[in-house]
Structure 1
Amino acid sequence: MPTSMPDIANQAQAQTEGSLDWVGMSNIEMPVMIASEAGLPQQVGARIEAFVSLDDPKAKGIHMSRLYLAVDELANDDVLSASSIRRLLDRFIETHDDLSSKARVMFSFEYLLRRKSLVSGKQGWKGYPVTVAATFNGSGYDVELSVNATYSSTCPCSAALARQLIQEAFKKRFQEQEVSAEEVAAWLGTTEGIVATPHSQRSVAEVKVKLSNDVDILPIVALIDRIEGTLKTPVQAAVKREDEQEFARLNGQNLMFCEDAARRLQHELNKLPTVLDFRVRVNHYESLHAHDAVSVTTKGISGGYRP
């Protein structure tokens, strides 16, 4: 008979007594199937964090392998959804019933979507950083979804200054003379005509939402579509010249400071009954300044997300 192996975590007492908020593992690498809102589940390469509280002040530690095996079981035998995540948290507690009353898990991955171009109908892949986090606090569950979406932002102030320079160039060129519409149109098509252009920059909206309990399939695509539809100028994948021109038009018709972008998203997220709370941070990576322009907003409920 082989001798039994010692389990120090079970047998030994803590050198210094005290309960701990969270103990567990981070950077677990696993493939995970994400339940899809339409069609087949999508496999992603996820980095996972798994934690339980250590309530017993005298216990040496938790059972790390039990957390790993529970996550591995979900990755192999199930799809990621709100209900499967809740079952996973229950499993964390069941395997630590003498030690823990709270559990937390987080999945971070890039979600790939096939996106159509604006006009030409060409398609290309776009990746969106996504985080799904869930907590069992001893009496209930919180499930959170975070998405980063990249878009273009054109500065309203810069646009106004560019228009002023174009007006001044027009006055200088034509003075008080009579001019036909054809002449003006031809002049506007030259570099002299468009003497200045407003500055724009790649920007990122970081949106985190707390989902209501009646949500099961994680609304990843719906949230991405909501963000991009609200801001109007998502960055593109495959583009032809007609797509690039339409992108330029959309930028010109959707001038926005970071404050404008944050308020647009705030307004849209407040409409969603399945979103109990939200936090939005928009980052405009300035092309004029060496620093970034940032705006942050939350739903503003008592005890909710903080800016």
Structure 2
Amino acid sequence: MRENRVTSKLPSKAERHRLFGSVDPTPGDKPTSKEYMSDLQNEQRNYLFDIEQVGIARVKHPITVEAGLAPASQVSIGTFKLTTSLNREAKGINMSRLTEHLEEYRQQGGTTDLAQLVRFAKGLTARMNQERAELELSFPWFYERRSPMLGKTGLNHAEGLIRISYEEGRESRVVVGLTVVVTTLCPCSKEISEYSAHNQRGVVTMEAHIDELDMEKDWKVMLLNAAESNASAPLHPILKRPDEKAVTEKAYENPRFVEDMVRLIAADLVELKAVRAFTVECRNEESIHLHDAIAKISYKKPRS
């Protein structure tokens, strides 16, 4: 390989930049002060259609997650989607106001408290001078889990979701969700085999429209319990041999089809007073097939 050597004194940094294509700024006559700049977003005329949602997505931001399981408070990374409506008389929105609003939320503590996020959505509507706004926040949530026999403590995690829709003159719509990974053991395999049964990793995704006034405890814990208590067995971050024995036997004692999972979880969600409507989906990553198995239920409670 040829050895690199500097054979003479290097040119200055400015000269090096010009060597690699940089040019001097082009003189212009457009204004540099905001009050004299054109404002295309606020041009008023008939632009043909109202827009349901316009805004920004995939915005990473630090948040504080508060939970009913240890650790009770943790710093996490939230992924935000912030949108508002736009009527046909306006060309566009001022998107920089969305990130300004997000920065104010951070300065006010930036938590996953539902009441704070409802205020966030309401304030966003006023700030953008629009009729509707929607906030969507997804984040990893970590919680302590002890092994079943030896009590070894480690951190599990699930993926949380909060979606809040606000419209002037209407009640805010609050949807929360959780994606949880569990173990499922195939009932058919257990039934037909002389010994053993194949199992798989099940990915349970739940979304629930909730009434925050009826929340008796942390919604994340409620959804986590609904998924794990109906699985063949929960997952653990740390397992020693006595723990592995207990977990595999528990799975064998509680075989679950993917159809069983969504029905059992749905029954638990129906019994939760705070839940108005929900969707639950389970996807089993099969261990003896190339395909995954899936099932999904959507349910809306009748009005009392």
Q: Which of 44, 47, 50 is the aligned partner of 1:19?
A: 50
TM-score, with normalisation over the residues of structure 2? Answer: 0.82
* Alpha-carbon offset, residue 292 of structure 1: 1.2
2:261 is the alignment partner of 1:231: no
Greater RCO (Cα-Cα under 8 Å, separation 6 or more): 1
Does residue 85 of the first structure (1) align with residue 117 of the second (2)? yes
Aligned length: 268
- The Cα shift of 1:162 comes to 1.4
CA separation of 1:261/1:2 partners in 2, compared to 1, >3 Å: closer, same or farther? closer
The answer for the alignment partner of 2:103 in structure 1 is 72
Q: Which residue of 2 aligns with 1:48?
A: 80
Identity %: 22
* In structure 2, C-alpha distance between the alignment counterparts of 1:9 and 1:90, rounded to whole Å: 25
Deviates more, 1:9-18 or 1:107-116: 9-18
Cα distance, 1:291–1:148 mapped onto 2, change above 3 Å: same
Residues 198-209 of structure 1: pairs in structure 2 closer than 5 A: 198-209=197-208
Tell me by how many angstroms 1:144 deviates: 1.0
C-alpha distance in structure 2 between counterparts of 1:277 and 1:3, whole Å: 47
The aligned runs of 1:188-203 (5 Å cut-off) are 196-203=195-202
Q: 1:295 to 1:2 in 2, by over 3 A?
A: closer
Deviation string 1:187-217 (CA, Å, 9 cap, x unpaired) is: xxxxxxxxx4211111111111111130577
Say if 1:33 and 1:75, in contact at 8 Å, map to a contact too: no
**Contact in 1 for aligned 2:232/2:255 (Cα 8 Å):** no
Q: Does 1:101 align with 2:131?
A: yes
Question: Structure 2: how far apart are the matches of 1:124 and 1:134?
Answer: 32
| Native 8 Å contact 1:108 1:129 kept in 2 | yes
For the Cα contact (< 8 Å) 1:128–1:148, is it kept in 2? yes
Unaligned ranges ≥5, structure 2: 1-31
Distance 1:2 1:282 in 2: 55
Counterpart mapping for 1:145-164 below 5 A: 145-163=176-194
Task: Give the partner amino acid of 2:73.
Answer: P
Q: Distance in 1 between matches of 2:38 and 2:282?
A: 49
1:166-199, Cα deviation, whole Å (9 max, x unpaired): xxxxxxxxxxxxxxxxxxxxxxxxxxxxxx4211
Once residues 15 and 241 of structure 1 are traced to their aligned partners in structure 2, the CA distance between those partners, rounded to angstroms, is 70
- 2: CA distance between counterparts of 1:76 and 1:3? 26
Maintained 8 Å contact 1:9/1:59? no
Over 3 Å counting, the alpha-carbon distance change for 1:120 and 1:5 in structure 2 is farther
Provide the C-alpha distance between the structure 2 equivalents of 1:234 and 1:35, rounded to a whole number of angstroms: 22
Q: Distance in 2 between matches of 1:282 and 1:90?
A: 33
Q: 2:161 aligns with which of 120, 131, 150?
A: 131
**Conserved? CA contact 2:136–2:164, under 8 Å:** yes
State the Cα RMSD in Å.
2.2
The amino acid of 2:200's aligned partner reads Q
1:112 aligns with 2:164: no
Q: Is the 8 A contact 1:282 1:294 kept in 2?
A: yes
Residues 144 and 154 in structure 2, CA contact (< 8 A), matched pair in contact too = yes
Q: Distance in 1 between matches of 2:236 and 2:145?
A: 8
Aligned to 1:30: 61
Task: State the distance in 2 between where 1:59 and 1:101 align.
Answer: 13
TM-superposition CA deviations, 1:92-128 (whole Å, max 9, x none):
111122xx11110011111111111111100111121
Q: Distance in 1 between matches of 2:138 and 2:38?
A: 32
Partner of 1:256: 256
Q: TM-score, normalization: structure 1?
A: 0.81
**Pair 1:244-2:276 in alignment:** no
CA shift for structure 1 position 4: 2.6
- Supply the AA of the counterpart residue of 2:175: E
Distance in 1, matches of 2:34 and 2:245, equals 74
Q: Is the 8 A contact 2:65 2:141 kept in 1?
A: no
Structure 1: tracts of 5 or more residues without a match: 164-195
Kindly state the Cα deviation for residue 251 of structure 1 after the two structures are TM-superposed.
Answer: 0.8
1:34, 1:80 within 8 Å by CA — same for their partners in 2? yes
Aligned-partner Cα distance in 2 for 1:16–1:3: 25
